[in-house]
Amino acid sequence: MDLAEKIKRCLERHPDWPNSRIAKSTGARHDAIEAVRRGEQPPPVPVSAPLPPNTSTPPASVSLAAVRERFDIAAAITRALSTVKRGTLLPEEELCRMTAGRDRSRFRRAIENNPDLARAHRVRLRLDDSTDGKFFWGHETDIAEAVRLRDM
Protein backbone atom coordinates (compact mmCIF):
# COMPACT_ATOMS: atom_id res chain seq x y z
CA MET A 1 0.00 0.00 0.00
CA ASP A 2 1.46 3.33 -1.00
CA LEU A 3 1.36 6.52 1.01
CA ALA A 4 -1.55 8.08 -0.91
CA GLU A 5 -3.72 5.02 -0.18
CA LYS A 6 -2.86 5.16 3.53
CA ILE A 7 -3.80 8.84 3.71
CA LYS A 8 -7.08 8.30 1.75
CA ARG A 9 -8.16 5.44 4.02
CA CYS A 10 -7.34 7.44 7.14
CA LEU A 11 -9.31 10.43 5.81
CA GLU A 12 -12.30 8.19 4.95
CA ARG A 13 -12.37 6.71 8.47
CA HIS A 14 -11.64 9.97 10.28
CA PRO A 15 -12.66 13.00 8.19
CA ASP A 16 -12.61 15.28 11.24
CA TRP A 17 -8.98 14.60 12.18
CA PRO A 18 -6.50 17.46 11.73
CA ASN A 19 -3.41 17.03 9.58
CA SER A 20 -1.17 16.53 12.61
CA ARG A 21 -3.21 13.55 13.81
CA ILE A 22 -3.25 11.98 10.33
CA ALA A 23 0.49 12.53 10.04
CA LYS A 24 1.05 10.64 13.30
CA SER A 25 -1.21 7.82 12.16
CA THR A 26 0.19 7.39 8.64
CA GLY A 27 3.73 8.69 8.94
CA ALA A 28 3.05 11.19 6.13
CA ARG A 29 4.16 14.79 5.95
CA HIS A 30 1.65 17.63 6.17
CA ASP A 31 2.13 18.70 2.55
CA ALA A 32 1.30 15.15 1.37
CA ILE A 33 -1.89 15.13 3.45
CA GLU A 34 -2.96 18.51 2.01
CA ALA A 35 -2.34 17.24 -1.54
CA VAL A 36 -4.54 14.16 -0.96
CA ARG A 37 -7.28 16.36 0.56
CA ARG A 38 -7.22 18.44 -2.66
CA GLY A 39 -7.42 15.24 -4.73
CA GLU A 40 -3.87 15.44 -6.03
CA GLN A 41 -1.07 12.94 -5.90
CA PRO A 42 1.23 13.55 -2.86
CA PRO A 43 4.69 14.86 -3.66
CA PRO A 44 7.43 12.23 -3.63
CA VAL A 45 9.23 11.73 -0.36
CA PRO A 46 12.64 13.40 -0.59
CA VAL A 47 15.49 10.97 -0.34
CA SER A 48 18.28 12.27 1.80
CA ALA A 49 21.84 11.54 0.83
CA PRO A 50 23.39 8.79 2.93
CA LEU A 51 25.62 10.08 5.67
CA PRO A 52 29.28 9.14 5.49
CA PRO A 53 30.27 6.62 8.14
CA ASN A 54 31.62 8.18 11.30
CA THR A 55 35.18 6.91 11.65
CA SER A 56 36.29 9.41 14.25
CA THR A 57 36.07 8.82 17.97
CA PRO A 58 32.92 10.30 19.50
CA PRO A 59 33.68 13.45 21.50
CA ALA A 60 32.34 12.00 24.75
CA SER A 61 34.32 8.77 24.52
CA VAL A 62 37.16 7.76 26.80
CA SER A 63 40.00 5.53 25.77
CA LEU A 64 40.53 2.27 27.60
CA ALA A 65 44.13 3.29 28.23
CA ALA A 66 42.92 6.33 30.19
CA VAL A 67 40.59 4.15 32.27
CA ARG A 68 43.39 1.65 32.88
CA GLU A 69 45.80 4.42 33.90
CA ARG A 70 43.29 5.83 36.36
CA PHE A 71 42.00 2.63 37.95
CA ASP A 72 44.68 -0.06 37.53
CA ILE A 73 46.61 0.73 40.69
CA ALA A 74 48.75 -2.45 40.50
CA ALA A 75 50.06 -1.39 37.10
CA ALA A 76 50.58 2.14 38.42
CA ILE A 77 52.63 0.73 41.31
CA THR A 78 54.79 -1.22 38.85
CA ARG A 79 55.29 1.90 36.72
CA ALA A 80 56.17 4.00 39.77
CA LEU A 81 58.64 1.42 41.04
CA SER A 82 60.43 1.44 37.70
CA THR A 83 61.20 5.14 38.25
CA VAL A 84 62.73 4.59 41.71
CA LYS A 85 66.53 4.57 41.66
CA ARG A 86 68.37 1.40 42.68
CA GLY A 87 69.44 1.49 46.30
CA THR A 88 66.51 3.72 47.29
CA LEU A 89 63.43 2.74 49.26
CA LEU A 90 60.22 4.72 48.85
CA PRO A 91 57.85 5.18 51.81
CA GLU A 92 54.45 3.60 51.22
CA GLU A 93 52.65 6.91 51.84
CA GLU A 94 54.59 8.48 48.98
CA LEU A 95 53.92 5.53 46.65
CA CYS A 96 50.22 5.65 47.53
CA ARG A 97 50.09 9.36 46.72
CA MET A 98 51.90 8.78 43.42
CA THR A 99 49.65 5.93 42.26
CA ALA A 100 46.22 6.26 43.85
CA GLY A 101 46.17 9.88 44.94
CA ARG A 102 44.12 10.25 48.11
CA ASP A 103 42.26 6.95 47.61
CA ARG A 104 44.13 4.89 50.18
CA SER A 105 41.53 2.10 50.15
CA ARG A 106 42.00 1.54 46.39
CA PHE A 107 45.76 1.33 46.97
CA ARG A 108 45.30 -1.13 49.83
CA ARG A 109 42.91 -3.27 47.72
CA ALA A 110 45.47 -3.39 44.91
CA ILE A 111 48.10 -4.65 47.37
CA GLU A 112 45.73 -7.26 48.82
CA ASN A 113 44.77 -8.51 45.36
CA ASN A 114 48.39 -8.72 44.17
CA PRO A 115 50.30 -10.44 46.99
CA ASP A 116 53.24 -11.36 44.73
CA LEU A 117 53.82 -7.71 43.90
CA ALA A 118 53.72 -6.71 47.56
CA ARG A 119 55.91 -9.63 48.65
CA ALA A 120 58.62 -8.84 46.11
CA HIS A 121 58.72 -5.04 46.41
CA ARG A 122 57.54 -4.20 49.95
CA VAL A 123 59.18 -4.41 53.35
CA ARG A 124 58.22 -3.21 56.84
CA LEU A 125 61.08 -1.43 58.59
CA ARG A 126 61.26 0.23 61.96
CA LEU A 127 63.68 3.08 61.36
CA ASP A 128 62.57 5.23 64.29
CA ASP A 129 60.98 4.62 67.70
CA SER A 130 57.58 3.73 66.25
CA THR A 131 56.04 0.52 67.55
CA ASP A 132 54.99 -1.05 64.25
CA GLY A 133 57.34 0.41 61.72
CA LYS A 134 56.47 1.62 58.26
CA PHE A 135 56.28 -0.03 54.86
CA PHE A 136 58.82 0.84 52.20
CA TRP A 137 58.83 -0.07 48.51
CA GLY A 138 61.71 -0.61 46.12
CA HIS A 139 63.32 -2.95 43.59
CA GLU A 140 63.35 -6.67 44.39
CA THR A 141 67.09 -6.79 45.04
CA ASP A 142 66.93 -3.75 47.32
CA ILE A 143 64.01 -5.23 49.27
CA ALA A 144 65.82 -8.56 49.61
CA GLU A 145 68.88 -6.74 50.96
CA ALA A 146 66.74 -4.71 53.40
CA VAL A 147 65.04 -7.90 54.66
CA ARG A 148 68.43 -9.58 55.08
CA LEU A 149 69.78 -6.63 57.07
CA ARG A 150 66.61 -6.32 59.17
CA ASP A 151 66.58 -10.02 60.09
CA MET A 152 70.26 -10.25 61.06
pLDDT tens digit sequence for 64-81? 888 888 889 999 999 999
CA angle 102, 105, 107 (to 5 degrees): 75
Q: Which fold has domain 64-150?
A: Arc Repressor Mutant, subunit A (1.10.10)
As a whole number of angstroms, the distance between CA 6 and CA 10 comes to 6
Q: What is the pLDDT of residue 97?
A: 92
Report the pLDDT value the prediction gives residue 57, as an integer from 0 to 100.
Answer: 64
Regions in the chain scoring below 70 on pLDDT: 1, 48-49, 54-58, 130
Query: What is the 3-state secondary structure of 77-144?
Result: HHHHHHHCCCCCCEEHHHHHHHHHCCCHHHHHHHHHHCHHHHHHHEEEECCCCCCCCEEEECCHHHHH
